[in-house]
Structure 1
């Protein structure tokens, strides 16, 4: 069997932490600026407090040299596995998101996470996300209206949506899945309304065979995230809203490893009348850029 054939025969079950971690690292540098201008005074305050906080923890808990070397080796391995995006997004981003959006009057947001990909296919509403023939899972109609805080509809607003499949795997981060599986950018109509046909995602564990998984194991934590839809909602003159929407009854709503669940973000789908699957309506209210 050739190497090419072997690669083509891989499925999402063959996903490895180091592989998806490196993909997340590469995508980070593709999608985000890392040369943002920050004053020396700001760097001095933030870096000093973080470093002093670590030192205070060491003193308070009498950290030994063996423990120090173990942490040092683990931090090095996080980098070698390409898992810094995963680490930062799972354990740190929720606090940054809370600070960044605390003054918004519109919808609550949530973390972006490490699996966002730019330039997903653009689709007019009503839309069906790209998916495999006979995509496994429960069909879901996700619909709503996008308005400004004054109640005016936002025609042509864009809803970027991506999520795991019914087994908990993301396209472009797990082998064997079509490139844009369950990813799309849906353009709302003249009334700001959108309709998206997709499949309900599954809860999933963050990768556990890399450095982040080792931390979870030795700390006695679990690695689960509740099922969720990822969204970026935008319109001219409005602030970009990044959100995750969860599903009522999920076992991990109260102990999400990423600490990203908010009550306002929990959906309650209902059965489609006379059909197969579920539907849910969720409206978005965007804050103006000058707020």
Structure 2
């Protein structure tokens, strides 16, 4: 039986690419003038780099071969989500007054099982890691609770793998959509995820090795918070003391999103509170 430890970048990339095709609108919605502006800026930036850094034909051909391989590996979602999405997210959420956003990343899957708070995420009987209770409230900018709010949550396991993107994991492992109670409060029992390296056996890994970078993301929880009449916010929560909160390869960490869990009074793992504030539509 194939296990999660035998996951490959190619398989993960293929899954991410297929999910993107299923879930995202890929038709351009911008005007011809906008496409012209953006495409021209990107092409100019590449050409400026070539001229300023005196790029050789050997380097050019290596770059071309790498671009081809990224597509063959299915790693364009990974590449873009790691190195570009944080800037797109910054633009998208720059006018919000509520909770800070962060990147979605390539491993989101919609329509996860819906649970009522207090909830325990689907997990294996012997799920490894430290139990974590995440709880808090969901309010509007005035501090009023939002009944009907939901917390969509997904994260990696203790080995750094995501269900539906690595073999051997149950379909909805550590994924759910949790409905807050009538007072806009939520309680979610899960396992604290581990830091992990993005897949390094494919094209992105070859870039990382060639540039002498590291491939680590700090441990994090992915979340989408929504309520009727309010803007959905996609975010991530990180953990104080993690070695890579200061040098996340995806540049997605924000100080406002760092958790500081404490031991539970019943000695059953750790707990932390985090309140979400939503902007009106």
TM-score by length of 2: 0.99
CA distance in 2, matches of 1:37, 1:68: 32
**Unpaired stretches in structure 2, ≥5 consecutive residues:** none
Contact 2:148–2:228 under 8 Å retained in 1 = no
TM-superposed CA distance for 1:274, in Å, is: 2.6
Question: Of 210, 220, 228, which residue of structure 2 is paired with 1:218?
Answer: 210
Aligned position for 1:108: 100
Question: Of 246, 270, 285, which residue of structure 1 is paired with 2:262?
Answer: 270
CA distance in 2, matches of 1:34, 1:158: 27
CA distance in 2, matches of 1:78, 1:247: 31
Aligned position for 2:121: 129
Instruction: Give the secondary-structure state (helix, strand or coil) at the position aligned to 1:99.
Output: helix
Matching of residues 1-291 of structure 1 within 5 Å: 9-289=1-281
CA distance in 2, matches of 1:189, 1:52: 52
CA distance in 2, matches of 1:45, 1:27: 29
CA distance in 2, matches of 1:102, 1:188: 26
**Unpaired stretches in structure 1, ≥5 consecutive residues:** 1-8
Task: Report the count of equivalent residues.
Answer: 281
TM-superposed CA distance for 1:35, in Å, is: 1.6
Runs of 4+ in 1 over 2 A off after TM superposition: none
Instruction: Give the secondary-structure state (helix, strand or coil) at the position aligned to 1:154.
Output: coil
TM-superposed CA distance for 1:36, in Å, is: 4.1
TM-superposed CA distance for 1:134, in Å, is: 2.0
TM-score by length of 1: 0.96
Aligned position for 1:6: none
Instruction: Give the secondary-structure state (helix, strand or coil) at the position aligned to 1:169.
Output: coil
CA distance in 1, matches of 2:28, 2:100: 26
Instruction: Encode CA deviations 1:132-188: one digit per residue, 9 max, x unaligned.
Output: 002111000000100111211110101100000111111111100100000000000
CA distance in 1, matches of 2:7, 2:276: 34
CA distance in 2, matches of 1:126, 1:282: 15
Instruction: Encode CA deviations 1:91-140: one digit per residue, 9 max, x unaligned.
Output: 00000001110110001010000000010000000000000002111000
Instruction: Give the secondary-structure state (helix, strand or coil) at the position aligned to 1:230.
Output: strand
Instruction: Give the secondary-structure state (helix, strand or coil) at the position aligned to 1:142.
Output: strand
CA distance in 2, matches of 1:32, 1:192: 29
